[in-house]
Chain A
Amino acid sequence: MKRIFNWVLTHPKSILLLLMLVTGLAVSQMRHIHIETDMDAMLPKHSDAYINKQVLEERFGSTDMVIIGIINDTKDGVYNTHSLALVQELTDWLGEQPLFRTLALNDLLSLATIKDIRGSDAGLDVEKFMDGVPETQAQIDHLKQRIHEFGVYENVIVSADGSGTIFAARPMPDSRHQYAEIYDLVKAKVAEIEARGGSERFFISGRPVIEGVFGAYMPAEMKRMQPIIMGLLLLLLYLSFRTPRGVLLPMAVVVVAEVWTLGTMAALGAPIYTITTMLPILILAIGIADAVHFLSRERLLAHYQAYGHRKERLVEVMHELWKPMLMTSVTTGVGFLSMLASDLPPIRDFGMFAAIGIAYALLVTMLLLPAAMMVLPSRKKHDERKPMFSGYVEWLGTAVLRHPKRIMAFFAILLAVSLVGIMKLDVNASLVDQFKPGDPLRQADKMLNQHFSGTTSLDVMIDTGRENGLLEPVFLQHLIDLQSEIEKDPMVGDSSSIAEFLQTMNQALHADAPAWKRVPESSDMAAQYLLLYSFSGAPDDFETFMTGDYRQAHIRINMKTDETRVVAALLDRLQEKTDNWFPAEQGFKVEWAGTGFTVYRLSQMIIDGQIASLATSILAIFLLCWLMFKRLLIAAIAMIPVSLAVSVNYGMMGNFGIPLDIATALTGAMALGIGVDFAIHYLHRYHEESEAGHSYEESVINTNRSVGHAILFNAFVVIGGFLVLLTAALYPQMKLGALIAATMLVCYLATCYLFPVLLGLGKEKIKV
């Protein structure tokens, strides 16, 4: 090893040049970075939710629509000439936008496009509810009455009380990368209409809008948080070293490591997901520790003038530190790598690239720091001020020895409270809940869910297994039965299927008599109704409800929430019904899809991945500690602070009602990997102190004196770094930041307060 270190120190310029070249290469790759906002892409490709979504889009068209709501709180709601003129204007405008697909009825649903089906003296009339803007009160009343009697669109397109109406417009296929643009376009149009005055308020939401906003937020977030975390690091480094190189060299190390990581991601074609936007912060906060250790040690040796030449001193520093640095990097890396146990690509990517970033940080520390120190002119006088908080660290050593019972009691209570919290732990993969409660988008979504049937899609696809199968009266009746079962859920706003339309046609062809609002009595009759309809309607009016061969049917469900809990309860309840009504042995096949289902599957995978990655990381880190300390008991003790911290983490989530989601799911393994470093440093030192023949008390005091400061700095950086996430625009990031910060605090406390107490247990005192 020393040979390698010597070589590094004798070729500093080559090393620096090499580092610059690699960094340049990484920068050149970074332009290939792309952002992934599609929630379905967060699922593994083999997941049924992912596959069914593709099938759904292929069979029945995409259900991801931009939703625009108009709310008018005046007496007549939107049933007045002014509001209806706006409906017509906005519909016409949407129809002209090249970014929207407006071929079929279901591509652009609004009060001005939906069609009424009703019986006339001799036949079936299919015509738009609104043929131009109604001028007279009589016309408006008629419109209102027809919408109410037709029923299908009440609550869906017009709110039941008439106070609002919505537009659902389908973006062009393959326009996902333009979703942000589409949102801006619609916002600008709405702003133009609002500027003219009027009592109408507008709200924009829908999955494409949500994804578009994510796409816009993510790079902006990365750019915004970078300077904040760098500022924080500069401040902490300045407080610790107070020399330009003490501040700038560690910064250079972590920035290079960050660039390399992003470059690697780009080169491997890994996309940026919402959670991987946190990688830069993570690498900066964790990677800095190695550089800080290196510089402190180098400065200490320089201070004591233990080595005559700078090169010899640097070799000694490298030799002393490479093992502990490697060990802490490995344990942290293992914590992150355990995320590979998850099935979800964002979590896997996050874990893998965090581990890669940590490895880069170690490598760059060992190359850049010594090489730079060789090249930079030697400075005679090193400022040797006492680091901040020395007083506290000194006090800590003796204080812990005086209050073992209080400390034990404190942690026992903390653990008990946490265990209660863990019982209450919930999971939620909601897309909308990723925005803060005050976010305009979440507000709009809330308003739309209050007034209408809901912005979250849930889809059932039923394959009857044979051509014309869906025309059978029994099948149609079961569709209706399933819909009424679905609509029993208060969070389901509405559901629709071809059966509803056939019922309406049946009624229309029997003089609009309400008694005839039932499914056609024979398959032939259903076929003939659809044929009759096709003389007035467009060929694709029902494209979203059934396939052209009348084999597969689709029930579209609108939900008012995408919270996992609600969807899971609904799916559980329906399972029995669908098994009963559409038995597989008769050739039926029932498949679920849509945002609601994606969220449900995501949640399951978050939980499964969580358990797997926690188990993996606990086991792996335990084995590493055993390998390092060579004693089972010590390895077990080393696991105590992190296990406690992880319990507190989940306990807090349960107690504060923070659900497991795609971001907070990372906290367990992350806290474990980062937090165990404290324990390793502490135990390592304590081991050496007791080896040197010191008593228990002396060992505790000495350990604190020598590593207490480094651990404190480490804790500061990590806690501070993650607190930066509190400024994030997205909720999960904020929650993750707060959780990791709090968990690291517990980890620190458990290491520096609980450890000495534990080590002092028993008559013999535990010998390390």
Chain B
Amino acid sequence: MNKLTLMMLGATLLLAAPVCSAEPTGLQIMQMVDARDDGDDLIQHMQQRLIDRRGDVRAREMISFRKDYGRDSKSITYFLAPSNVRDTALLTWDYDGVAKEDDQWLYLPALKKVRRISASDRGDYFMGTDFTFEDIKQVPELEDYNWSLIGSETVDGHDMWLVEGEPKSDDLKKNLGYSKTRYTIRKDINMYVRVDFWDRKGQELKHLVSDEIKQIDGIWTAMRGSMTNIQSGHRTELEFSGQRYNTGLSDSTFSERMLKRGYRGE
């Protein structure tokens, strides 16, 4: 998110303010969440733990680089562990809006080849985790949902907004796999700390919880997160560390050549 957009959005909100009542609407809140400063680029370590119903754990370790290009972004992630997937790397070019499908390439060291990953449905699961392609986006495509503010509450001393989003059409519900989502958003920093998801049958499906939220380089960052599928009992735990924001990553970081070359330290 660049600063220009941020300023423009801020201005829009200011202009809109007199028309609204004291409380913003659900959509406005989600726009504020979308507009939150998350740095222009980011380097971070990530530990992923996939935990099945029986408690068996598959752990992965990776390092990832991200850079924003206007409302689009690019990222590259290198697997560090387990050893059988070490040097596997994923390059993603993420385009804003639904008009253009994201591009993804995966480098498999065993085949020594870069594979393009075919476009997936937004409701498809990502990399064996409990996150779908829609979930791994920082913020969902706002225009696809009807947003409504359903209330406020206080959790751990923080004031929260509760915003529900319902996909606008049955096709979207089918595509996303959700009939409803509910975001719990901290009012002070415009960041969601919990998301609940309901499946197409209207049954509660998953919840996402963000933990250990602190400021790094002035940017609010969650150090841990977990997504639990309460129907299947499967859980994904994420742990982030070593964040460095706005280091000025070069464009060549996000190329096929770098994908093949692998991670060699910074």
Contact = CB atoms under 8 A, between A and B. Distances in A.
Interface of A: 58-59, 95-96, 98, 101, 103-104, 120-127, 468, 471, 509, 520, 522-532, 534-540, 543, 547-550
A58 B53 CA distance: 9
Interface string B103-136: 0111011110111111010001111111000000
B88 A509 contact: no
Given A96-B201, A547-B52, A535 B126 contact: yes
B260 interface: no
B217 to A, nearest CB: 31
B106 A548 contact: no
B213 interface: no
B232 interface: yes
B120 A535 contact: yes
A536 B128 contact: no
Given A123-B118, A536-B118, A548 B58 contact: yes
Contacts of B88: 528, 531
Contact of A532 (B83, B106, B201): B106
Nearest 4 CB-CB pairs, A to B? A527-B84, A123-B115, A534-B128, A525-B110
Given A536-B120, A548-B51, 17 more contacts: A58-B54, A95-B201, A98-B201, A98-B203, A126-B118, A523-B84, A524-B83, A524-B84, A531-B88, A531-B106, A534-B127, A535-B90, A535-B104, A535-B117, A536-B124, A548-B50, A549-B56
Contacts of B104: 535
A480 to B, nearest CB: 20
B224 interface: no
A540 B234 contact: yes
B57 interface: yes
Given A528-B108, A535-B127, A538-B124, A125 B84 contact: no
Interface in B202-242: 203, 229, 231-232, 234
B118 A471 contact: no
B232 A103 contact: yes
Contacts of B126: 534-535
A539 to B, nearest CB: 4
Given A539-B125, A539-B234, A549-B57, A528 B116 contact: no
Contacts of B106: 123, 531-532, 535
Given A539-B234, A548-B52, A531 B116 contact: no
A120 B114 CA distance: 12
A528 B118 contact: no
B46 to A, nearest CB: 15
Contacts of B118: 120, 123-127, 536
Contacts of B56: 547-549
A120 B130 CA distance: 26
B111 A528 contact: yes
A548 B52 CA distance: 7
Interface in B71-123: 79, 82-85, 88, 90, 104-106, 108-111, 113-118, 120
A59 B231 CA distance: 16
A126 B231 CA distance: 24
Interface in B124-159: 124-130
Given A122-B115, A123-B106, A528 B84 contact: yes
Contacts of A95: 200-201
B57 A548 contact: yes
A103 B52 CA distance: 14
23 contacts: A58-B54, A59-B54, A103-B232, A122-B116, A123-B116, A468-B84, A524-B83, A524-B85, A526-B84, A527-B82, A528-B110, A531-B85, A532-B106, A534-B128, A535-B104, A536-B120, A538-B125, A539-B129, A539-B130, A540-B234, A547-B56, A548-B57, A548-B58
